[in-house]
Structure 1
Amino acid sequence: MPLSKNILNYISYFVLLTSYLALPACGTVDVFEKHATIPRQIWKSSFKPEITFNIEPKDTTTRFHIFIVLRHTDAYRYKNIWINVHTESPNGVVQNQPLNLQLATDNKGWLGSGMDDIFEHRIQITPPRSPLSLSAGTYRFKLENIMREDPLKNVMNVGIRLEKAHLEQAE
C-alpha cells in the first residue's frame, strides 16, 4: 500500500508541475518577431530581406511599438549601422525610413545583450510614448543595408519585432 501511495504522490506532483509550466503558455502573445539570416554573415547592399506580418482585425484596437532586431559578432567593426526600412501597409502605401542605429559606445561597449562573441540589439524605432495603431492586413518591411562598406561583414541576421504597447506605456 505505501508503494502505491508514493506513486500517486509522484503523479500528483508531476501533474501540478506540468500545469504550472503549461498554463502561462495559454496567455495572449504580446510580441511578433521575425528574422532573416544574412548569408555567410556578409550583408551585401543588394540583399534586402523582406519581413511580413499579418495584423488580424482583432488587433486593430491595439497599439504597437516597432523594433529593429540585429545580431552580429564581436568582430563587427562599427559602433552603429545605417539601415533603410521600407514599410508597405495593407493599403499599398510605402514609407522609407533611413535609420542610424547606435550599437556601441566608447564607455559601455556593445549596447545589446551578448553571449560569447554574439550580440543582439532590439532597438525601438517608434517614439516611446507614441505607439502605432495598425490596420488589419499584411505589412511588409524590407530592410536595406545602407552603410558605406559594401558588403558589411559580421552581421548574422536582421529582423522586425512588433510589441503590443501596454496601456500605461501608451499614455
Structure 2
Amino acid sequence: MHALTRGFIVLVSGLLLVACDPAEVYEKNIDLTSPAGDPYVWAVQNKPTFEFEITDPAPRYDVFLNVRNTADYSYYNLYARVTLTGPDGQIISRKLHDMNLMDPKTGEPLGNGSGDIFDHRILALPNQEFSQPGTYRVQLEQYMRQDQLPGVMAVGVRVGRREAGK
C-alpha cells in the first residue's frame, strides 16, 4: 500500500475515534449574527437556546459552554448568563459565568486556535444532576456592557456523562 494512502487511512481512523465520544449526550453550536445580519456579532437580544434529552437521570453530567471567537474580539473575557430549565419548565440553575478568552495580563488568546479563530470549551455546570428523564433547555445570554458584541462567531452547549472518579 502506498505510504500516502496508509497515512490518510490512519488520519481518518483517528478522527473517527476522537469524534465518537461515548460520554457525550449532546452538542450543538449556533453561528451568531447581528439583527442587521452582520456576521460574528452576539447581540444582547439574541439568546440562543439549546434543548437536549436526558434518558437516564442516574449518572451525573457535566455541561460545557462552547465559544468561538475571532482575534478581533475586544475583551479578554466574556460574561454569559446560563439558565438551565427542566422538563417541567422550572428553572434548575441560573448562573453568571466570567469566561477568560484571553490571558488578562498578556492578551494572548486562550483556547484552541487556528489562525485568528479560537475555540473554547468551558465547564459551566459541573457534576449536574438531572432528577428526571425528559427534555432540558439551556439558554445563553451575553452579559457584556455592549448591545452588539463583535468578534463572537458562535456559541454552543455540550452535555456529557461525568467520568467516574471525577
Q: TM-score range by the shorter chain?
A: 0.7 to 0.9
Check the 8 A contact 2:40/2:152 in 1, yes or no. Answer: yes
Aligned residue number for residue 5 of structure 1: none
Provide structure 1 residue ranges, at least 5 long, that are not aligned to the other structure.
1-8
Q: Does 1:72 align with 2:69?
A: yes
Contact 1:72 1:154 (C-alpha < 8 Å) held by counterparts: yes
Match of 2:85 in 1: 88
Q: CA deviation at 1:91?
A: 2.1
How is 1:9-158 mapped onto 2 (pairs within 5 angstroms)?
21=13, 29-31=22-24, 32-39=26-33, 40-56=39-55, 59-94=56-91, 95-105=93-103, 106-107=105-106, 109-127=108-126, 131-134=127-130, 135-158=132-155
What's the RMSD between the two structures over aligned residues?
2.6
Helix, strand or coil at the partner of 2:44: coil
Q: Structure 2: which amino acid aligns with 1:147?
A: M
Shift of 1:107: 3.8
CA distance change for structure 1 residues 47 and 28 in 2, over 3 Å: closer, same or farther?
Answer: closer
The percent identity for this pair of structures is 31
The DSSP-based 3-state class of the residue aligned with 1:125 is strand
* CA-CA distance at 1:141 after TM superposition: 0.9
Number of equivalent positions: 148
- Please identify which structure carries the higher helix content: 1
Give the direction of change, closer, same or farther, for the CA distance of 1:70–1:24 in structure 2 (3 Å limit). Answer: closer
Q: How far 1:28 moved relative to its partner?
A: 6.8
Partner Cα separation in structure 1 for residue 107 and residue 140 of structure 2: 27
TM-score normalised by L of structure 2 = 0.79
Q: Structure 2: where are the runs of 5+ without partners?
A: 34-38
Runs of 4+ in 1 over 3 A off after TM superposition: 21-25
